[in-house]
């Protein structure tokens, strides 16, 4: 069974922490801070793998975490950067937000796409030395890498889609006109997954065709196998609608066409408007006096192209290929889905939003909360006086002290920030 949709969890690597270190050499007086920066975390990158046509790579593993950056060291040594994690996907894979269904990226071109950016390494204490702060005993913590859940959905890249009821000869036609080798059998639902093949019309002239199996009445609502594969018709610019013109299985070709088109319209109204070629298969089995007037009148009213073929004898197969190629020359290019999802990008190293939430607990303590505070607290050495002064300065310049005053905090009141408690002094 084709594995063509999966939800995965992705986590980019965290940045390494900056180092707190001081130069200590026998003949160097007043050695200053020399703590190195932490390494950057590895990013998670999607890359097209032309040799894949399913998402089986993600069948048994759904969680992917990139390597984190190493912490900095003394002597201004920079921590090692974390390696990027490259995830392969077949051409035509669409990355979506699982909650909203909005498109993040259509992996139909050959460019790599960074889905989760690695965290930046923290600064070592060498960056915090000033004329008045010559012995900084603190450094910055590394920034956390981005994380998110992503829905991967494969939509085959095919110019032409072969649609129709089961056992009408779609797989046989595809095997004849291309190098594809789908399973072929004289029973319903022989084909359990879409097959795709390149159809060569002439030198430097070709198109891609796909056999979309399992379409029956009610497919758009989950009947049969077709509901699993309707997404693979999305990109098809032209449909070859295959029908059994003999009606020997008790089905009427007109009813079959109406039923399949209804399912296409229910799935996507635009899909039913795609140009169609009606391939009346098994025409070699027709009686000489068969009356096809009603069928041909129906096709004429619908404005479809009609060609009588036989997959068994290869009657008019070449003409079908040429007609499809000619039609494609007049149609717009294959659909590439534009990005719809705009995720907020958080870069804490340059983050200007220092908003906080202030509440009071049962003890009367003022509880200060804010995402950016996690980064600040990780950079502070609370056992060092200079580091505490730096902490106080950031609280004032970021507006936290003012926010506490507006909330009613006065001298002597207890303030708690991530379990670090101190007495408020204006």
User: Starting at the edge strand that comes first in sequence, how are the strands of the sheet with 195-202 ordered?
Assistant: 195-202, 205-211, 160-163, 238-244, 276-281, 305-308
Average pLDDT over residues 176-181: 80
Of residues 418 and 346, which shows the higher confidence score?
418
211's tokens: 């056999």
Look at residues 277, 200, 292 and name the one whose alpha carbon lies nearest to residue 239: 277
CA angle 150, 154, 159 (to 5 degrees): 145
pLDDT over 50 at 34, yes or no: yes
Residue spans of the domains in the chain: they are 1-154, 160-328, 357-423
Give the pLDDT score at 129: 77
Q: How confident is the model at residue 419 (pLDDT cuts 50, 70, 90)?
A: low
Give the pLDDT score at 349: 40
The SS3 call for residue 100 is coil
Please determine, looking at this structure, whether the domain spanning 160-328 carries the CATH number 3.40.50.300.
Answer: yes
The SS3 call for residue 315 is strand
What CATH architecture applies to the domain 1-154? Distorted Sandwich (2.70)
Average pLDDT over residues 406-424: 85
CA distance 2 to 10: 23
pLDDT over 80 at 27, yes or no: no
pLDDT over 60 at 117, yes or no: yes
CA distance 145 to 131: 34
CA distance 154 to 92: 6
Q: Is 272 exposed, middle or buried (0-12, 13-18, 19+ CB in 10 A)?
A: middle
- 317 touches 311 (CB < 8 A): yes
Q: How confident is the model at residue 29 (pLDDT cuts 50, 70, 90)?
A: low
Please determine, looking at this structure, whether the domain spanning 357-423 carries the CATH number 3.30.300.350.
Answer: yes
pLDDT digits (tens, 9 = 90+) for 8-22: 999 999 999 888 888
H/E segment holding residue 422: strand 420-423
CA distance 198 to 187: 26
H/E segment holding residue 387: helix 385-397
Average pLDDT over residues 145-155: 91
Share of the chain above pLDDT 70, in %: 86
Give the pLDDT score at 228: 59
pLDDT digits (tens, 9 = 90+) for 179-211: 766 555 454 444 456 778 889 888 778 898 888
CA distance 195 to 175: 9
Of residues 91 and 29, which shows the higher confidence score?
91
CA distance 339 to 317: 39
Give the pLDDT score at 187: 43
Give the pLDDT score at 348: 39
pLDDT over 90 at 135, yes or no: no
281's tokens: 């298969």
CA angle 102, 106, 110 (to 5 degrees): 160
pLDDT digits (tens, 9 = 90+) for 62-103: 999 999 999 999 888 999 999 999 999 988 899 999 988 899
pLDDT digits (tens, 9 = 90+) for 298-341: 999 999 999 999 999 999 999 999 999 999 999 988 878 788 77
Task: Report if pTM > 0.75.
Answer: no
Q: Looking at 91-105, 155-169, 352-366, 381-395, which range is the least confident one? A: 381-395
- 379 touches 138 (CB < 8 A): yes
Average pLDDT over residues 337-347: 64
Same fold, 1-154 and 160-328: no
pLDDT over 70 at 263, yes or no: yes
The SS3 call for residue 391 is helix
Q: How confident is the model at residue 225 (pLDDT cuts 50, 70, 90)?
A: very low
Look at residues 207, 212, 189 and name the one whose alpha carbon lies nearest to residue 197: 207
Give the pLDDT score at 180: 66
C-alpha distances out from residue 370 to 11, 258, 400, 426, Å: 22, 58, 10, 21
Of residues 388 and 116, which shows the higher confidence score?
116
Of residues 133 and 291, which shows the higher confidence score?
291
The SS3 call for residue 142 is coil
Look at residues 330, 383, 337 and name the one whose alpha carbon lies nearest to residue 104: 337
Give the pLDDT score at 347: 43
């Amino acid at each position: 069974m084709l594995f063509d949709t999966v939800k995965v969890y992705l986590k980019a690597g965290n940045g390494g922490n900056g180092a707190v270190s001081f130069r200590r050499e026998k003949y160097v007086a007043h050695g200053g801070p020399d703590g190195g920066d932490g390494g950057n975390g590895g990013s998670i990158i999607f890359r097209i793998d032309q040799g894949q046509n399913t998402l089986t790579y993600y069948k048994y593993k759904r969680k992917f975490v990139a390597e984190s950056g190493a912490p900095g060291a003394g002597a201004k040594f920079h921590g090692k950067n974390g390696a990027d994690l490259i995830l392969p996907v077949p051409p035509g894979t669409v990355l979506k937000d699982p909650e909203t269904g909005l498109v993040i990226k259509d992996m139909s071109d050959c460019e790599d796409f960074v889905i989760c950016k690695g965290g930046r390494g923290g600064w070592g204490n060498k960056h915090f030395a000033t004329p008045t702060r010559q012995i900084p005993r603190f450094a910055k913590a590394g920034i956390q890498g981005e994380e998110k859940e992503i829905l991967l959905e494969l939509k085959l890249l095919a110019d032409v889609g072969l649609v129709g009821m089961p056992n009408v000869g779609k797989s046989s036609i595809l095997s004849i006109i291309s190098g594809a080798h789908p399973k072929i059998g004289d029973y319903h639902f022989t084909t359990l997954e879409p097959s795709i093949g390149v159809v060569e019309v002439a030198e430097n002239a070709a198109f891609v065709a796909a056999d979309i199996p399992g379409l029956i009445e009610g497919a758009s609502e989950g009947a049969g196998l077709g509901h699993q594969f309707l997404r693979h018709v999305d990109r098809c610019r032209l449909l070859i609608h295959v029908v059994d013109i003999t009606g020997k299985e008790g089905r009427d070709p007109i009813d079959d066409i109406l039923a399949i088109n209804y399912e296409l319209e229910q799935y996507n109204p635009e899909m039913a408007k795609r140009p169609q070629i009606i391939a009346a298969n098994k025409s070699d089995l027709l009686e000489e006096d068969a009356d096809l007037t009603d069928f041909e009148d129906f096709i004429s009213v619908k404005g479809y192209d009609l060609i009588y073929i036989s997959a068994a004898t290869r009657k008019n197969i070449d003409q079908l290929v040429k007609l499809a190629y000619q039609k494609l020359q007049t149609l717009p290019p294959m659909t590439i889905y534009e990005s719809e999802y705009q995720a907020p990008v958080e870069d804490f190293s340059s983050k200007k939003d220092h908003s906080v939430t202030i509440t009071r607990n049962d003890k009367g303590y003022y509880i200060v909360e804010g995402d950016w505070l996690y980064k600040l607290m990780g950079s502070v050495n609370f056992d060092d006086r200079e580091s505490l002064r730096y902490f106080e300065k950031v609280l004032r310049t970021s507006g936290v002290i003012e926010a506490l005053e507006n909330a009613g905090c006065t001298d002597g009141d207890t303030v708690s920030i991530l379990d670090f408690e101190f007495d408020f002094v204006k």
